[in-house]
C-alpha cells in the first residue's frame, strides 16, 4: 500500500461515513414529515382545525419522541419563528435553519435541502442534521396571516400560546426544520 493511500484513507472513510449518516437521517426526517402531514390531513378532514391543533401540538412531538427512542438519536423539530418557545426554539447550532431560506432565495429547492455537520461539544462529538419543513396550503389555517384564522383556532392560540410568533407564513415558505442529533464514535 502506498504512503499516499494511507494518508487519503481516513479522510475518505469519514466522508463515506458522513454520507451514510446523511442517508439514515434523511430517511428519519422524511418519515416524520410524512407521518405528520398524513395525520394533519386526516384530523383536518375529520374534526376541522380545532381537532387538528392536537396534531401539531401533541402528535408531532410524540412522533419525534417515538423515532428518537427507536434510533437512540434526538429527533425534534424547530421553527424559524416559534409558537411554543419551550419546544420549538432552535439552539445555537440549529439557527443554521435560517441558511435554508438564503439557499432557497438563490434558487435551490427547499424540499431537497439538508445540512449536516460533525460537531465537538464539551461532552463528546455529535453528528447534527437538519431538513427543512415547508409550509403547505393547509398549514395556513394556523400559521398563515392571523386575521384569516378560523375563530376556534384564534381561541385556542390565544389561550395556550401567549408568545406565538409562528404566524404570517405563506405556502412554500420555510417553516422550520427537523433536527437530528446523534452521538458519534471517537474515531470521527
Ligand atoms: C390546526 C392548527 C395547526 C395547523 C393546521 C398546523 N399547525 Fe403547526 N403548530 C400548531 C400549534 C398549536 C403549534 C404549537 C405546538 C406546541 O405546543 O409545541 C404548532 C407548532 C408548529 C411547529 C413547531 C415550532 C413552533 O412554532 O412552536 C412547526 C415546525 C409547525 N407547527 C409546522 C406546521 C406545518 C408544516 C403545518 C402544515 C403541514 C402545520 N404546522 C399546521 C398548530 C397548527
Distance 83 CA to ligand 1 centre (A): 8
CA 95 to chain centre: 12
What is the domain-level CATH number for residue 161? 3.30.450
Q: In what order do the strands lie in the sheet with 174-183?
A: 74-79, 174-183, 124-134, 115-121
pLDDT tens digits for range 59-94? 999 999 999 999 999 999 999 999 999 899 999 999
Give the C-alpha separation, 110 to 134, whole Å: 7
**Vertex 63: Cα angle to 92 and 87 (nearest 5):** 35
pTM for this entry: 0.91
Q: Which residue has the cell 441558511?
A: 99
pLDDT, residue 7, reads: 42
Transcribe 62-108 into DSSP letters: HHHHHHHHHHTSEEEEEESS-S-HHHH---TGGGGHHHHHHHHHTT-
The verdict on the CB of residue 131 being under 6 Å from ligand 1 is: no
Work out how many domains the chain is built from and give that number. 1
User: Would residue 188 count as lying in a domain?
Assistant: no
Distance 8 CA to ligand 1 centre (A): 46
Give the C-alpha separation, 100 to 110, whole Å: 7
pLDDT, residue 6, reads: 44
pLDDT band of 50, cuts 50, 70, 90 = confident
pLDDT tens digits for range 173-186? 999 999 999 999 76
User: Would residue 40 count as lying in a domain?
Assistant: yes
User: Domain containing 119: what range?
Assistant: 3-183
pLDDT of 12 over the 60 cut: no
pLDDT, residue 5, reads: 45
pLDDT tens digits for range 88-111? 999 999 999 999 999 999 999 999
User: Would residue 10 count as lying in a domain?
Assistant: yes
Q: Give the mutation target among 42, 48, 56 for probing the ligand 1 site: most ligand atoms within 8 A of CB.
A: 56
Distance 106 CA to ligand 1 centre (A): 27
End-to-end Cα, the chain, rounded Å: 23
Of the chain, the percentage scoring pLDDT greater than 70 comes to: 90
Amino acid at each position: 500500500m502506498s504512503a499516499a493511500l494511507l494518508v487519503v484513507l481516513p479522510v475518505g472513510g469519514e466522508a463515506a461515513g458522513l454520507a451514510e449518516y446523511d442517508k439514515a437521517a434523511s430517511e428519519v426526517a422524511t418519515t416524520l414529515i410524512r407521518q405528520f402531514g398524513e395525520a394533519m390531513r386526516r384530523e383536518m378532514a375529520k374534526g376541522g382545525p380545532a381537532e387538528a391543533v392536537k396534531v401539531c401540538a401533541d402528535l408531532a412531538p410524540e412522533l419525534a419522541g417515538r423515532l428518537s427512542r427507536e434510533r437512540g438519536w434526538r429527533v425534534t423539530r424547530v421553527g424559524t419563528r416559534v409558537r411554543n418557545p419551550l419546544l420549538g426554539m432552535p439552539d445555537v447550532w440549529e439557527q443554521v435553519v435560517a441558511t435554508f431560506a438564503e439557499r432557497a432565495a438563490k434558487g435551490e429547492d427547499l424540499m431537497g435541502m439538508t445540512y449536516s455537520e460533525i460537531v465537538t461539544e464539551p461532552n463528546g462529538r455529535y453528528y447534527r442534521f437538519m431538513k427543512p419543513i415547508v409550509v403547505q396550503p393547509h398549514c395556513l389555517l394556523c400559521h398563515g396571516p392571523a386575521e384569516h384564522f378560523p375563530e376556534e383556532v384564534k381561541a385556542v392560540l390565544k389561550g395556550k400560546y401567549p408568545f406565538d410568533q409562528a404566524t404570517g407564513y405563506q405556502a412554500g415558505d420555510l417553516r422550520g426544520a427537523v433536527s437530528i442529533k446523534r452521538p458519534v464514535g471517537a474515531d470521527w
